[in-house]
Amino acid sequence: MTPAPPSTSTIYHNPACGTSRNTLAMMRESGENPEVIEYLVTPPSRETLVALIAAMGIPPRDLLRRKGTPFAELGLDDPGLSDDELVDAMVAHPILINRPIVVTPRGAALCRPSEKVLALLDNPVASFTKEDGEVVAPGGPSK
């Protein structure tokens, strides 16, 4: 058996999330052998999280997950909270980090919807059928 090529991509993954599973499957079907980081098991450090946010070019608020998290209880919808406070909340409660985050030599992105990953891949699949039956291709989704 030939060993897999070294990873040049990383996915911050939650196997319980359909979007994350679809993204990982698209990466693998595109020939990628990503490093898979189950971020709820192995959360990113504050430094790593700040670097990911910078690489994606988004404000921390755009990375916050609201559904199924302590977002409301923590009052994170308060527009007066600083970026540092929002990052601190994500470090303290990794479930607040939206997923999946993908990093490749082409860049980094929050891949919601999952087909956003195709722009980050050197050899994206010609088409992919998601778990829900939706067919996507590098040119966009189709039914």
One-letter amino acid for residue 125 of the chain: V
Q: 93: buried, middle or exposed (CB in 10 Å: 19+, 13-18, 0-12)?
A: middle
**Which listed residue (17, 37, 53, 91) is catalytic?**
17
111 in catalytic set: no
Q: What's the full length of the chain, in residues?
A: 143
Round to whole Å and give the CA distance between 101 and 125.
19
The residues facing 136 across adjacent strands are 128, 141
Specify the residue for token string 């709820």.
40
Q: Active-site residue numbers?
A: 17
